[in-house]
Amino acid sequence: MNITAGAAGRWRLGDLTVNRLGFGAMRLTGSAVFARGTPSNREQAIAVLRQAVELGVNHIDTAAFYFSPLRSANELINAALAPYPDDLVIVTKVGPGRDPAGEWLPTARPDQLRGQVEENLRQLGRDHMDLVNLRRQSDMASMTDHFGALAELRDAGLVRHLGVSGVDPQHLAEAQAVAPVVCVQNRYSIDERSSEDVLRVCGEQGIAFVPFFAIAGAKRHPGAGDSAADPLTSVARAHDATPAQIRLAWTLHRGAHVLAIPGTGDPDHLTDNVAAGAIRLSQTELALLDSSDPAGV
């Protein structure tokens, strides 16, 4: 009998409740945002999305700029899951984007954000987004204007809730001065812990903290750097699990407000990822993983 996403527990995204083990759609397209990979077979990608929902995943992270010459994450989600289950929460992000040729566009102006939100709605076949994250870019002097533009879309009914991505506590406070923030999505993993202060602030305020690249190692490859001698491998052996599953379990142990959105185009990897939500690490194991040298993992 398969373990379901409910084994990881639940948390809130505003007034929406989701299982803490979700799904990230980026890798379905073969795109790693700045790099290009090989997209999953379309039929297999659609099957993986349906399997995720069957396994209890009710939180899917996507973006209109998750596409490659052959695949669009939003189109795959639409084809696989529409009409959408009532409890399915789809989260997107805006700010950066791609032009029609697929070239990276680092930052949209505030007045361009409505177009980005509407593009997500069109691709997904929806009349509103459950949650939109503003992805902060380094050339944003302040969050205020961009987040204010999204707050207007929330007031207009196009967006239900707002979040931020790639931020520190000061950026979060800037956004909160404009409108409520229900989640923060930052890069964070066992070997990339620069967002510890944001994680702590989110916990204090009851805001969901949603790491991306939680499985990826220092070089953004699954399990990068894992070796037979490192703590991840020894803990994984003790649980008859993979190092990637222990990375996910460690992430979920960082706090009840921490969610995980691992992505894959492989049905077996999906099952493994969901099963990681049921792994319970001991205090000794957590101390061993926490004391490992992040630069050496």
Distance (Å) of CA 160 to CA 139, 165, 290 = 27, 17, 36
Yes or no: say if 189 and 214 are a contact pair by the CB < 8 Å rule. yes
CA pair distance 200, 171, nearest whole angstrom = 15
- The SS3 call for residue 270 is helix
213: left (phi > 0), else alpha (psi -120 to 50), else beta?
left
CA diameter of the chain: 55
84 catalytic residue (yes or no): no
Report the distance separating Cα 280 and Cα 214, nearest Å: 17
List the catalytic residue out of 66, 209, 213, 250: 66
Neighbours of 15 (CB within 10 A): 8
Hey, which residues are catalytic here?
A: 66
